[in-house]
Amino acid sequence: MRYLFQGDSITDWYRGNYDDPHATGCGYPRILEAELTAQDGDCEVLNCGISGNRVVDLLARWKKDCLNLKPDVLTIFIGVNDVWHELGSQNGVAPALFEEVYRILLRETFTALPQTRIILMGTFVTHGTATDPEWETFYNEVKIRRDITRKLAEEFHLDFVDLQQVFDEAQEKRPAEHWTIDGVHPTAAGHWLIAREWKKTAAIS
């Protein structure tokens, strides 16, 4: 069984060598690699997350970093930079284009890898130094991308992980800074939350 995680810095999280998908980094893919390989020594966990990526960046490298790798289970976690890059440098991805490109990614995958299981992760934010200066805009725009991701999951009958709900519930027990460094990037505890929810969705004990 080959698992592939695709996304931005949250998935990347210090994996270092972008030419080596076996470099799983220090975040939730590494946590899952430890658990999955402990249970099944023949399984393979790959990470092709790249810091700063938007959905359009995924499209540019999709054949090389996804289709050619032929995963059995593909997880896509993208969306926050499509908002953040707009707020910071006016280089984000508008909702309509986000949906169009995401749909292309999925259709290309269905065509090339019809047996691959796909899990979509809904992006999230908490209060923090990166999000608070424009909190309402940041939160609302992220919600739009998350809702698009959910809609695509429903349309194509894919698994969906609502991480905003997960982090909202976690903040009822501990403050935002326990779960994220800056409102976007998870702490170690935040990465554990993501891994836990992925396991629930993937139905892996």
Contact criterion met (CB below 8 Å) for 34 and 78: no
Domains of the chain: 2-202 (3.40.50.1110)
Q: SS3 of 122, please? A: strand
Q: What is the pLDDT of residue 181?
A: 98
| Phi, psi dihedrals of residue 76, rounded to the nearest 5° | -115, 125
Instruction: Specify whether the CB–CB gap between 3 and 36 falls below 8 A.
Output: yes
Helices assigned H by DSSP within 5-61? 9-12, 28-39, 55-60
pLDDT at 38: 95
51 has catalytic annotation = no
85 catalytic, yes or no?
no
Q: What is the pLDDT of residues 45-87, one digit of tens each?
A: 999 999 999 999 999 999 999 999 999 999 999 999 999 999 9
The reported pLDDT for the residue numbered 204 is: 67
Identify the CA nearest to 164 among candidates 132, 128, 197, 192: 197
CB atoms within 10 A of CB 7: 28
Assign 192 to helix, strand or coil.
helix
Q: Give me the catalytic one of 8, 65, 82, 185.
A: 185
Whether 49 contacts 29, CB under 8 Å: yes
Element (H, E) at 101: helix 95-112
Low-confidence ranges of the chain (pLDDT < 50): none
Of the residues 9, 65, 82, 191, only one is catalytic, namely 9
Residue holding tokens 């779960």? 179
Decide if 9 is catalytic.
Answer: yes
